[in-house]
Amino acid sequence: MEHAAHVLLVEDDDGIARPLAAALGADGHQVTRVATGSEALRVARDVDAVVLDLGLPDLDGIEVCRRLRRDLGADLPILVLTARTSETDVVVGLDAGADDYVTKPFRLAELQARLRALLRRAAAGRPLPSEQLAARDVVLDPASRRAWRGDEELDLAPKEFDLLALLLRRAGTVVTREELAREVWDTRWLGGSKTIDVHVSSLRRKLGDDPSAPRYVTTVRGVGLRFEREDGGQR
């Protein structure tokens, strides 16, 4: 199922909540249904998206929306259901952090489509396994800024991380010293480029490379560096 998610449905009207929960379930989503704002705030931490009615018996839905945004960050998709049709109410909802809204009465298919769009957008903002850089047993995740060799996580300084990312992205090809300076240090001039050498030796050490015969990051004399795709690639 495309972007199946755990959806929190916050709606006190059973006549709306029941068919809606069924429709979302039919889309492959796991649905948690609550009827009050305070329950919503209690369980929202575990869900991937929220469908939130603004007219709730305890708290104002706008206030619930604002707190969800404040407590759970910008990435949680929130789709608001509103019976209020005036433009001001919609604007208030969006200001409170809602991503989109549907006005009651709505067609189930429309709400399902809007939610799908929100989940797709949220998924696009998250690191996907395919966005990781990898060569041999070295894996780097740009989004979380973490890197591993085999099962062991590498403790890299920021510039070492950027350096490794660039080399992995271009694994098997030579990256010139000029490119390294420009991409990693954002400069064209590195005063004799000792800086690069220092970071390269440190990176090699962390990768477990022997500086006199590196197996991962090799020096292409007079040109630059290359992350070897295969062990023994330099010979």
Query: Residue 99 Cβ, how far from Ca ion at the closest point, in Å?
Result: 20
CB contact set of 45 (below 8 Å; sequence gap of 6+): 71, 72
By CB under 5 A, is residue 53 in contact with Ca ion? yes
By CB under 5 A, is residue 12 in contact with Ca ion? yes
By CB under 5 A, is residue 142 in contact with Ca ion? no
Query: Residue 64 Cβ, how far from Ca ion at the closest point, in Å?
Result: 12
Residue with smaller CB distance to Ca ion, 32 or 82: 82
| Out of 55, 63, 141, 146, the residue judged to bind Ca ion by CB under 5 A | 55
Contact region with Ca ion (CB under 5 A), list: 11-19, 43-51, 86-94, 223-231:
11-19
- The residue with its CB nearest to Ca ion is 55
What distances in angstroms separate CA 47 from CA 6, 7, 32, 107, 119, one per listed residue? 5, 6, 8, 24, 12
Dist. CA 216–CA 107, nearest whole Å: 57
By CB under 5 A, is residue 36 in contact with Ca ion? no
CA 145 to chain centre: 12
By CB under 5 A, is residue 179 in contact with Ca ion? no
Residue 180: which of 154, 217, 210, 143 has the closest Cα?
A: 217
Residue 122 token pair: 């949220």
Positions touching Ca ion (CB under 5 A) are: 12-13, 53, 55
